[in-house]
Amino acid sequence: MTETETAAVGIAVDDGIAVITIDNPPVNAISQAVRQGLIDAMAEIATNDAVEAAVIIGAGRMFMAGADVREFGKPPLPPTLPETISAIEASEKPVVVAIHGVALGGGLEIALGCHYRLVAPGAKLGLPEVSLGIIPGAGGTQRLPRLIGFEAALDLITTGRQAGAEEAAQSGLADAIIEGDLKQGALDFAKRRIGEPPRRLSAIEAPKPESPDFFAEAKAAVARRARGQESPVKAVEALEAAILPFAEGVKREREIFVELRGSDQAKALRHAFFAERAVAKVPGLDDAKPRDVAAVGVIGGGTMGAGISVAALRAGYSVTLIEADVGALARGRENISKNLDGYVSRGRMTEDAKADLLGKLAASVDYGALADADLVIEAVFEDMDVKKEVFAKLDAAARPGAVLATNTSYLDINEIAAATKRPSDVLGLHFFAPAHIMRLLEIVRTGTTAPDVIATGFAVGRKLGKVSVLAGVCDGFIGNRILAHFRKQADYMVEDGAMPWDIDAAMEAFGLPMGPFKVMDLSGLDISYAMRRRLAPTRPAEERYVAIADRVCEAGWLGRKTGRGWYVYEDGTATPNPDAEKIVIEESKRKGITRRDFSPEEIQTRILYAMINEGARIVEEGIALRPLDVDMVEIMGYGFPRWRGGPMCAADIIGLERVLADIRAFASEDAYYWEAAPLLERLVAEGKSFSDLNGG
Ligand code: 3H9
């Protein structure tokens, strides 16, 4: 056996088979060292007469996560990935790839350059480049359709989804699934291929599209789904180039890849990728050890409590549900069961698995049932007195050291914590409805929450599959506080001349899945009405107040549940409510406002800037640790388009100087509302951007 090593790629020759091992922890990203190592390995294989075939395999927990995302945005270092893959594919000796864990992006493109692909049973294969604002740039859009046809390739490339081993084997993406020892299986497979001519995907004739209009139709469908994101649409263009001879197709693919790599959208999506991982890294929490959590108590079986219970059950916790009376308890159980039915009907859970989960659910009207809980999450009615009463009872029932959490969306958690004799054990775990589906979790620390309690919040969030973001206490924490400003801006524009459906259309064009007025109709106008009532006593007298929504609500139009709100809902369609329009016009008149037109761009700008300005205040006050935490809350919880990177990243892309100049111009009309956040002023004065505050 001979062995040579580069930093990240090792070769060992064993009985005529070269085993090339990629070893670049933690995810075998294809750094410059990996590319060079592979080229060197292929050169050695070509010249070493003792080698008759090769196996490429990954060390550690996966094959390869793809190109090193950290190298993007920096000058490219040779050799390129396409050159590396060409060197592999050109080998005269058969090259077999053995995939475990994931083969993503450039990792799968390397696999497509090999002559045979073997997968371990749990392997996942995908080309997720579009989610980073780019397309596969190393032949993926050209080799994949040659292997599995255009339709299947289009699905994988434009969605970025991962195919499991079974699917890969069925589609022809993988030649075989290797049960047992992957390396041994690959060695045996390679031995059987010795002497066979190499199977090169680039040499296969271009496939035919499934129908004459295939690409035009695909482009239209993908564009609709992408809501402003360019990369999936460009991916269709690259795929279309696969009908050309291979050399021309890869040239076109590369052009598109290079164009997108430098785009604002790619920058924003890279930011989102790293921010999603950075939110869990809380400075100062390194030494805090999370408390052990196995048993979770949930107080309240309404929409939120039931969603939280399902999330906890699915994550493997046992759950004890507490309700005020037997009837409410039965309804809570029913809500949980219905949520689980949703998974069953979509084929994502078997009836047996559902029954198993329900077996881990206990329910009681007695707080004594919480005596063994390690974590209790309160999800009762949003009222301070009710919550304090619950926490006083919880304080008496829970064991010492249990973590006590409230799912409040707005209330002062310091005050809730003070209702117990153990405020350091209290924190906020703010879930988003539906709690078993939405990925955001705001972890809210009070002035007294112990570090290990915060660390427990993050550990539980991770187990629940959530993206957890730390927030401080204020009205609405990060997300709902920004939402309040978003809505205020929308209301101001409606009173000044726009119609609710204009705002919705403009914000949907901005990339939101649903405009704010449609969202209000969905959640019920009475919800925000109650909130405005609650805030009324503390609202500054000089603050502009728009009463349109109050009047629509007082007319009994509560949205979808009454068939009428901002829109009229009939036969499954929503049309603008003419009576709401009348109220809008009357209210403008009552205030002496001359209504004017708002272009979609102006609507988008005013709403975005209101979010940026408030986001800057939230960072400055320390409610959010960094701008990236604000971005993640908005992307994960409020449908802010990921391809814009979140409001703070969007501000950096626009340029803070311009944002500040525009805000100052708005302030000349409405000084009360549009006062620029001091942090924004300071960053502009120092020539910095929000990203400078994100650290590493
Ligand atoms: C591409 O391939 C382009 C080509 O077509 C063309 C080229 C010409 N690069 O997520 P985790 C880091 S584009 C650099 O916590 P998990 C990550 O930041 C690429 N770093 O682990 C984290 O660092 P830290 C297409 C990467 O087990 C650490 O690794 N590929 C990369 O939950 C652990 O990550 C993708 O889009 C990378 N590519 O999930 C795949 N990937 O510890 C992106 C990860 O400092 N990656 N890191 O925070 C993933 O989907 C997940 O990371 C993966 C592992 C499933 C692999």
β pairing state of 426-431 and 440-445: antiparallel
Q: Scanning the structure block, which residue is given the tokens 């006593």?
A: 537
Q: Is the pLDDT of residue 255 over 60?
A: yes
Report the pLDDT value the prediction gives residue 420, as an integer from 0 to 100: 97
Query: For residue 98, what are its two tokens?
Result: 């053995």
Question: For residues 563 and 570, is the Cβ–Cβ distance under 8 A?
Answer: yes
Closest CA to 511 of 192, 268, 261: 268
Instruction: Express each pLDDT in 153-199 by its tens digit.
Output: 999 999 999 999 999 999 999 999 999 999 999 999 999 999 999 99
Ligand 1 atom closest to the Cα of residue 105 is 2
Mean pLDDT score, 290-303: 97
Question: For residues 347 and 475, is the Cβ–Cβ distance under 8 A?
Answer: no
Spot the catalytic one: 52, 89, 129, 323.
129
Q: Scanning the structure block, which residue is given the tokens 């805000």?
A: 663
Distance 223 CA to ligand 1 centre (A): 26
Residues 6+ apart with CB under 8 A from 584: 494, 495, 499, 500, 548
β pairing state of 124-126 and 102-104: parallel
Is 129 noted as a catalytic residue in this protein? yes
Ligand 1 atom closest to the Cα of residue 81 is 8
Q: Is the pLDDT of residue 1 over 80?
A: no
Nearest CA owner, ligand 1 atom 10: 277
Closest CA to 256 of 166, 139, 408: 139
Q: Scanning the structure block, which residue is given the tokens 């399902």?
A: 310
Residues 6+ apart with CB under 8 A from 602: none
3-class DSSP state for residue 568? Answer: strand
Ligand 1 atom closest to the Cα of residue 65 is 56
Q: Which of 207-221, 443-457, 536-550 has the highest mean pLDDT?
A: 443-457
DSSP 623: S
298/317 Cα distance (integer angstroms): 11
Closest CA to 20 of 49, 42, 47: 42
In the chain, the N- to C-terminal Cα span, in Å, equals 43
Ligand 1 atom closest to the Cα of residue 140 is 5
Distance 40 CA to ligand 1 centre (A): 24
Distance 256 CA to ligand 1 centre (A): 22
Residues in the chain: 696
Mean pLDDT score, 421-428: 98
Helix, strand, coil content of the chain in percent (nearest 5): 50, 15, 35
Report the pLDDT value the prediction gives residue 201, as an integer from 0 to 100: 98
658/599 Cα distance (integer angstroms): 19
Report the pLDDT value the prediction gives residue 534, as an integer from 0 to 100: 83
**Across 176-190, 205-219, 645-659, least confident range:** 205-219
- For 251-318, what is the HEC assignment? HHHHHHHHHHHCCHHHHHHHHHHHHHHHCCCCCCCCCCCCCCCCEEEEECCCHHHHHHHHHHHHCCCE
Instruction: Express each pLDDT in 103-162 by its tens digit.
Output: 999 999 999 999 999 999 999 999 999 999 999 999 999 999 999 999 999 999 999 999
Report the pLDDT value the prediction gives residue 5, as an integer from 0 to 100: 45
Confidence label for 205 from pLDDT (cuts 50, 70 and 90): confident
Q: Scanning the structure block, which residue is given the tokens 């986001």?
A: 615
Report the pLDDT value the prediction gives residue 72, as an integer from 0 to 100: 84
Count other C-beta atoms under 10 Å from residue 686's C-beta: 9
Mean pLDDT score, 656-684: 95
Distance 99 CA to ligand 1 centre (A): 16
Distance 278 CA to ligand 1 centre (A): 13
Tell me the best of 22, 27, 112 to mutate to test the pocket of ligand 1, counting ligand atoms within 8 Å of each CB and taking the most: 27
Spot the catalytic one: 52, 89, 109, 323.
109
Tell me the best of 34, 69, 72, 282 to mutate to test the pocket of ligand 1, counting ligand atoms within 8 Å of each CB and taking the most: 69
| Averaged confidence pLDDT in the chain | 95
Report the pLDDT value the prediction gives residue 528, as an integer from 0 to 100: 84
587/408 Cα distance (integer angstroms): 33
Report the interhelical angle of 81-89 vs 106-113 (nearest 10°): 20
Q: Which residues pair with 125 in a beta bridge?
A: 103, 163
Domains annotated on the chain, with CATH: 2-261 (3.90.226.10), 295-471 (3.40.50.720), 479-622+625-693 (1.10.1040.50)
Closest CA to 402 of 554, 254, 271, 296: 296
623/471 Cα distance (integer angstroms): 5
Ligand 1 atom closest to the Cα of residue 70 is 14
Confidence label for 556 from pLDDT (cuts 50, 70 and 90): very high
Mean pLDDT score, 309-318: 98
Task: Give the pTM.
Answer: 0.94
Instruction: Express each pLDDT in 490-525 by its tens digit.
Output: 999 999 999 999 999 999 999 999 999 999 999 899
Question: For residues 517 and 566, is the Cβ–Cβ distance under 8 A?
Answer: yes
Distance 102 CA to ligand 1 centre (A): 10
Ligand 1 atom closest to the Cα of residue 281 is 48
119/116 Cα distance (integer angstroms): 10
Nearest CA owner, ligand 1 atom 24: 277
Nearest CA owner, ligand 1 atom 56: 65
Q: Is the pLDDT of residue 637 over 80?
A: yes
Evaluate the CA torsion angle 513, 519, 523, 528 in order and state its sign.
positive
Ligand 1 atom closest to the Cα of residue 104 is 30
232/238 Cα distance (integer angstroms): 10
Which segments of 300-421 does DSSP mark as H helices, in order? 303-314, 326-345, 351-359, 384-397, 413-417
Distance 88 CA to ligand 1 centre (A): 23
Report the pLDDT value the prediction gives residue 284, as an integer from 0 to 100: 85
Mean pLDDT score, 329-345: 95
Q: Scanning the structure block, which residue is given the tokens 């059950």?
A: 313
Q: What percent of the chain has a predicted confidence (pLDDT) above 70?
A: 99
Nearest CA owner, ligand 1 atom 11: 277
Q: Is the pLDDT of residue 2 over 50?
A: no
3-class DSSP state for residue 24? Answer: coil
Distance 64 CA to ligand 1 centre (A): 9
Q: H/E element holding 613? A: helix 600-620
Q: Is the pLDDT of residue 329 over 70?
A: yes
Report the pLDDT value the prediction gives residue 74, as an integer from 0 to 100: 83
Mean pLDDT score, 311-339: 96
Query: What residues are in contact with ligand 1 under a 6 Å CB criterion?
Result: 26-27, 29, 65-70, 81, 102, 104-106, 109, 128-129, 132, 136-138, 140, 277
478/475 Cα distance (integer angstroms): 9
Closest CA to 297 of 368, 386, 389, 385: 368
Closest CA to 84 of 19, 24, 34, 129: 34
Report the pLDDT value the prediction gives residue 3, as an integer from 0 to 100: 43
Nearest CA owner, ligand 1 atom 15: 277
297/321 Cα distance (integer angstroms): 6
189/235 Cα distance (integer angstroms): 34
β pairing state of 9-14 and 3-5: antiparallel
Question: For residues 231 and 134, is the Cβ–Cβ distance under 8 A?
Answer: yes
Phi/psi for 102 (5° steps) reads -120, 150
Q: Which residues pair with 3 in a beta bridge?
A: 12
Query: Which amino acid is it at 119?
Result: V
Query: Which amino acid is it at 499?
Result: M
CA distances from 82 to 112, 266, 678 (A): 11, 20, 48
Is 109 noted as a catalytic residue in this protein? yes
Q: Is the pLDDT of residue 249 over 70?
A: yes
